[in-house]
Chain A
Amino acid sequence: MSKMKMADGSTILRRNRPGTKAKDFCRWPDEPFEEMDSTLAVQQYIQQLIRRDPNNIDLILKMPESQDEGVWKYEHLRQFCMELNGLAVRLQGECHPETCTQMTATEQWIFLCAAHKTPKECPAIDYTRHTLDGAACLLNSNKYFPSRVSIKESSVAKLGSVCRRVYRIFSHAYFHHRSIFDEFETETCLCKRFTQFVTKYNLMSKDNLIVPILEEENTPGESEA
């Protein structure tokens, strides 16, 4: 880490200036969580861990001590939604409204797009966009999440439904656009991280996590039935 330290060493601006080259993007030294003093420390910390090693999911999901759990969950979900946009962009090339006319995974369950006032059937790619937009709206809403330092219990309760809806993007990609999913997953481990995240914080029922992502590690004891 020390070799990454910038030459002058006095103050490090952790910022991507206009004109920053792709290889230099976010290339700044890590900072211990305790020393992060901005209001966005949790986000910064999570992103730092992900940049360091997206495979080290346990570490990424390990909540620092004395951290508010609501905020921790919130920031993670925020991060998931941001990164999911990457998957959405890749899906756009292959998942067209004409081919994937509905949001499905397996079982032929077609899901309604809840982003509308009256939920309705949207093509898969629209579902993806609408749901990510809806999630962004909710997570940035002044009403439910006015602060990123402390979060009301009632607002934390909203996260469950976001997870439920967002997960369908993973399952659609897995069952219908496997190659894109695999490519994205090897790069980011996002689905695996998401699966572990919702399992850890009990935000979704395990039986609804239909993408077989944790199988190789801990199959036994997963199903409670």
Chain B
Amino acid sequence: MDTNGNGKKGLPRLRDIIRRQQQDSDCYFQGGGADFPDLEFTYDDTDNHVNEIAELYSYTEQPELQLNVKAFEDQMEIYDFPPSWQKLPSENRKSVVMKLLDQLEVSSKPLRMRSARCLLYIAQGCWAEMQSDAEQQQWARNNSILLYQLGVFGAFTDLLNIEFENSTAAHVAMRKIAISLADSQDLRVILSVLYTITEVMRHEKSLGSTEFEGDVDAFCNEIAYSASDDLLIIKLLSMVTRFCSGSAPHFPMKKVLLLLWKLILVSLGGMNTLRDLKLDKRREFGLPYYNEDTMEIAKTMRSSSPPASASDLLEAQNQKRNTRPFRRSLMKQSSLDDHDTLGMELDSSMGGENGEDMNELSEFDERRPANETNDQMYTYNHETYRPISPPSPNALVLPKGLPWKPKVRQKDIDLFLDTARLKFLGYSLPGDRTTLFGLPEPIHEGVKTLNDHIYTSLAELQVQKEEEIARNPISTSEGEIEMTATEILYQAMLPNLPQYMIALLKILLAAAPTSKTKTDSINIMADVLPEEMPMTVLQSMKLGIDVNRHKEIIVKAVSAILLLLLKHFKLNHVYQFEFMSQHLVFANCIPLVLKFFNQNIMAYVGEKNAIPILDFPSCVIGDQPELTSESLEIGDSAAFSWRNMFSCINLLRILNKLTKWKHSRIMMLVVFKSAPILKRTLKVRHAMTQLYVLKLLKMQTKYLGRQWRKSNMKTISAIYQKVRHRLNDDWAYGNDLDARPWDFQAEECALRASVDRFNNRRYTQINDSDFEPVDNCLNSVLGTNHDLSESFKKHYELWLEQEVFGVPIEWDNLLEGDKYK
């Protein structure tokens, strides 16, 4: 059994891949990739609704869809109704659902599952009656809302609980050598209904339509604000851990993860909610309004050409040397117009042999979002990407600039002032952030500019507050913890958070395209593989695509789950974020993600693991064309795989989140030799992807050595152009003293101590008795029962004699001395 499905892609696909790889290597050697347009990929919370529904089903599940109609028709016959949902008056539809709900609570499992299948068919939009996909979608939407209104979601949550506890199924599955689709049939029906309703709700919410607003709100509240022990999200997370522990190998992980992702998304909110929450929180903390939205700006950026090979770079350098003086002066004026100090700094550091690469900046044509309304229009504008084309003077006249406003932290300003004072005055003034006495004029200017760009993050304030509470635990109160959806989820996840993280990463590892199926790793294929292995070439081609698609979807879901949780925890409280990220790091998330990118990333992004005519609902509506090697590709026109792009960006963002400002983890990037891997990822012509890669490269540049910088000036230029500048941050050339290797352990330990202190303070009720008020009420002190040993009770008089009467107590002393009066 080839669980990877490798080598089963058939001729057309092979040809496709070879062609793609040729293009790939061509552009690599040309160094320009001029023939490679930008990918028209728009990053979002999810793909479109149709795809999100289609991805729920494997192609191997297709025969089961017929069981749903069958169940529905049988049931309708029992009810004495014609088997047509459309023609049923709405009263009767309700009545049918209520009867099915009644049957859902019957103890006989076949009866229960028949009813569940009926409800699934209804949620799927009663496709057998529909003429078109659009019609089916419409009905699926209305039916799902109706089902929710009548309480089907709750009833299926109960069913899920029953199946979760179903130990017979688990035992049967554990004894089998090869687990297949058949083992998870019931669970998949239940999860499909839950997912369909959730996805419809999510879609409605994202559309912002008012028609079912009340229901959508009620749904979101129900998901987010349950008591922590019956949060559905926790139930699903524990399904994941149980699966990974091997005690429930039949759990259909893809559906579990998809549902988990959508539930988190719908209850905590996606990108827009995160942005608004951040603005609200900053306002609440009295921080200045900050209007740069990373997602928005990154969407308007344009990609850079992929990095060139060394030989190509040499050639290009020789050609460019001629134009060097002219270009340098121009560049400085255009991109550094209003920051003179920065310009000076750059001049000195970029001088000498490295300076010539400055001119490559002209390849990157970027605008602030305000200037560019429709960036996608420009994606086929090849000229700007041709590296050797002479610079057109017009391009420099355009109002260009860096995409991000530079930032600086208070810490950096303090450091700057300290150094300046030590240099000019000979002593430091700790804690003084204003005195500029005795410092020369340029330093004054420098401080002014720094102060203009100061950015205080929420995290810094939260850390500060936490330190204050630790210092004065009695007098500083945190105030009431607001029970936001995130807070509730965190509290519920807290006891088992490490296990959840390990389990999610295990699944990510098993689903990564580079990982080989080992005997010891978990088998995530149980919910695609049919009971009987395919016989024909076409069938095995189909299964191969199905298996790869399955893995991709799992990666997509896991990456989205991790990113969403990290983002929300970070906003809610930075130590919640640190807790989760530390456990991710301990569970080897960083090398795992790097391993993921250590593949032919262009092939991965361009992967076409889909058979559009087999996607639900196309596979059941209208005439079915015969499946041939040609029809496998009908309707597939995308130049890239949406979900793979999405997963890549998610994983890059996770990596960024984990490593930002953390020396020890940046060193992991260096140690695991991430630079060549990341550099290859830069070949993906998509601005946002490149931005996150460049950020990862930027933070480790100074550790990569002079040789690396020399041969990667193009990448360094791209970093300069695309990534936010941190004033005073000598990221490329500095010899950082913080980076002493013996500090790493300490740094991680200190963080851990802070996180533990935070968790103990907030979530365990162990109060330090030293801080408790002393009980001095006679009645309650004497009324307390103390456990005294038998021998003590026997000889207490002796004790009294020795310890109480024998020791003179000078009561009068209490009255003497001022402090007792």
Give chain A's interface residues, CB within 8 Å of chain B.
Answer: 102, 109-112, 114, 117-119, 121, 143, 152-154, 157-158, 160-161, 164-165, 202, 204-208, 224-225
Once bound together, how far apart are the Cα atoms of A157 and B217, in whole Å? 13
**Known contacts A111-B106, A153-B218, A164-B105, then 10 further A-B pairs from the complex at CB < 8 Å, ordered by chain A residue:** A109-B108, A110-B106, A119-B162, A121-B107, A143-B225, A154-B217, A160-B150, A205-B96, A205-B99, A225-B80
User: Which of the residues B107, B221, B230 comes within 8 Å of A112, measured between beta carbons?
Assistant: B107
Please give me the residue from chain B that is nearest to A162 by CB atom: B151
Give Cα A102–Cα B79 distance, bound, in whole angstroms.
25
Pick the contact of A119: B91, B105, B150 (CB < 8 A): B105
Q: List chain A residues, Cβ under 8 A from B217.
A: 154
Interface size on B, residues (CB 8 A): 37
Which residues of chain B are within 8 angstroms of A160 by Cβ–Cβ distance? 98, 150-151
With A112-B105, A224-B91, A225-B79 in contact, do A205 and B98 touch (Cβ < 8 Å)? yes
Nearest 7 Cβ contacts at the A-B interface = A154-B218, A205-B98, A110-B107, A205-B95, A225-B80, A118-B161, A118-B165
B130 to chain A, nearest CB (A): 24
| A128 CB, nearest partner CB in chain B, Å | 15
**How far is A143 from B79 in the complex, measured between Cα atoms in Å?**
37
Q: Is B636 an interface residue (CB 8 A)?
A: no
A207 touches B95 (CB 8 A): yes
Closest chain B CB from A73 CB (angstroms): 14
| Contact yes or no, B98 A204, CB < 8 A | yes
User: A206 is contacted by which of B95, B151, B155, B158 (Cβ under 8 Å)?
Assistant: B95
List 28 A-B pairs, Cβ < 8 Å: A109-B103, A109-B106, A110-B108, A111-B106, A112-B105, A114-B158, A118-B158, A118-B162, A118-B165, A119-B105, A152-B218, A153-B214, A154-B215, A154-B217, A154-B222, A157-B149, A157-B150, A158-B154, A160-B151, A165-B105, A202-B91, A205-B94, A205-B96, A205-B99, A205-B102, A206-B95, A208-B98, A225-B80
Flag whether B101 is at the interface (Cβ < 8 A): yes
**With A154-B222, A160-B150, A164-B101 as contacts: A224 and B95 at CB distance below 8 Å:** yes
What is the chain A residue whose CB lies nearest that of B99?
A: A205
Residues of B near A110 (CB, < 8 A) are 106-108
| A224-B92 CB under 8 A given contacts A114-B105, A121-B107, A161-B155 | yes
Task: Give the residues in chain A near B214, CB-CB below 8 Å.
Answer: 153-154
Q: Is the CB of B222 within 8 A of A207?
A: no
In the complex, A101 Cα to B223 Cα: how many Å? 35
Q: Is B111 an interface residue (CB 8 A)?
A: yes
Do B164 and A164 have beta carbons less than 8 Å apart? no
Tell me how far the C-beta of B320 lies from the nearest C-beta in chain A, rounded to whole angstroms: 66
Residues in chain B near residue A164, CB distance under 8 A: 98, 101-102, 105
Chain A residues near B154 (CB-CB < 8 A):
158, 161
Within 8 A of A (CB), among B44-89: 79-81
The answer to whether A117 touches B102 (Cβ under 8 A) is no
In the assembled complex, the CB of B164 is this many whole angstroms from the nearest CB of chain A, namely 7
Bound Cα distance from A75 to B100, whole angstroms: 27
Give which listed residue, B81, B101, B230, contacts A161 with CB less than 8 A: B101
Q: Which residues of A contact B164 (CB under 8 A)?
A: 118
Q: Label chain B's interface by main secondary structure.
A: helix
Give the docked Cα–Cα distance between A205 and B91 (Å): 10
Bound state CA distance, A161 and B100, in angstroms?
12
Contacts of B149 in A (CB 8 A): 157
The reply to whether A117 and B105 contact each other, CB–CB distance below 8 Å, is no
Smallest Cβ-Cβ distance to A107: which chain B residue: B106
Q: Are the CB atoms of A158 and B98 closer together than 8 Å?
A: no
Q: Which residues of B contact A205 (CB under 8 A)?
A: 94-96, 98-99, 102
Known: A111-B107, A207-B99, A208-B99. A119 touches B221 (CB 8 A): no
Residues of B contacting A118 in the complex (Cβ-Cβ under 8 angstroms)? 158, 161-162, 164-165
With both beta carbons as reference points, the residue of chain B lying nearest to A108 in the complex is identified as B108
Assess the B79–A207 pair: CB atoms within 8 A: yes
Interfacial chain A residues near B158, Cβ < 8 Å: 114, 118-119
**1/0 per position for B741-777, CB-CB distance to A under 8 A?**
0000000000000000000000000000000000000
Q: How many angstroms between the C-alpha atoms of A161 and B214 in the bound complex?
A: 19
- Looking across the interface, which residue of chain A has its beta carbon closest to that of B89? A224
CB distance from B700 to the nearest CB of A (A): 49
Chain B residues in 8 Å Cβ range of A117:
161, 230
Contact B107–A102 (Cβ < 8 Å): yes
Q: Closest chain B residue to A208 by CB distance?
A: B102
User: In the docked arrangement, what's the CA distance between A204 and B105, Å?
Assistant: 14
CB-contacts of B157-201 with A (<8 A): 158, 161-162, 164-165
Determine the chain B residues whose CB is within 8 A of the CB of A157 once the complex forms: 149-151, 218
> A158: nearest residue on chain B (CB-CB)?
B151
Specify the chain B residue showing the minimal Cβ separation from A163.
Answer: B98
CA distance A152 to B214 in the complex (A): 10
Residues of B within 8 A of A143 (CB): 225, 227
- Give Cα A113–Cα B164 distance, bound, in whole angstroms: 17
Taking the closest CB of chain B, its distance from the CB of A131, in whole angstroms, is 11
User: Considering the chains assembled together, what is the distance between the CA atoms of A173 and B698 in angstroms?
Assistant: 75
Q: Is the CB of B161 within 8 A of A154?
A: no
| Chain A residues within an 8 Å CB radius of B102 | 164, 205, 208
Question: In the bound complex, what is the Cα–Cα distance between A85 and B84 (angstroms)?
Answer: 42
Within 8 A of A (CB), among B198-242: 214-215, 217-218, 221-222, 225, 227, 230
Chain A positions within 8 Å of B81 at CB level: 225
User: What chain A residues lie within 8 Å of B99 (beta carbons)?
Assistant: 205, 207-208
A208 and B102 alpha carbons, distance in the complex (Å): 8
Q: Please, which residues of chain B bring their CB within 8 A of the CB of A154?
A: 214-215, 217-218, 221-222
A204 to B154, CA, bound (A): 16
Instruction: Please name all residues of chain A whose beta carbon is closer than 8 Å to the beta carbon of B161 when the two chains form the complex.
Output: 117-119
| Cα–Cα distance between A118 and B106 once the two chains are bound (Å) | 13
Inter-chain CA distance A82–B793, complex, in Å, is 54
Closest to A160 in B: B151
Complexed CA–CA distance, A205 and B162 (Å): 25
Please name the residue on chain A nearest to B219 by beta carbon.
A154
Residues of B within 8 A of A161 (CB): 101, 151, 154-155
Q: Within 8 Å CB of B101, what residues of A?
A: 161, 164
The answer for the CA separation of A109 and B107 in the assembled complex, in Å, is 7
Chain B contacts of A158 at CB under 8 A?
151, 154
The CA of A202 and the CA of B164, in the complex, are separated in Å by 32
Query: In chain A, what residue has the closest Cβ to B154?
Result: A161
Q: A110: nearest residue on chain B (CB-CB)?
A: B107
Q: Please indicate the chain A residues that have their CB under 8 angstroms from the CB of B91 in the complex.
A: 202, 224
Query: Closest CB of chain B to A74's CB: distance in Å?
Result: 15
CA distance A13 to B729 in the complex (A): 79
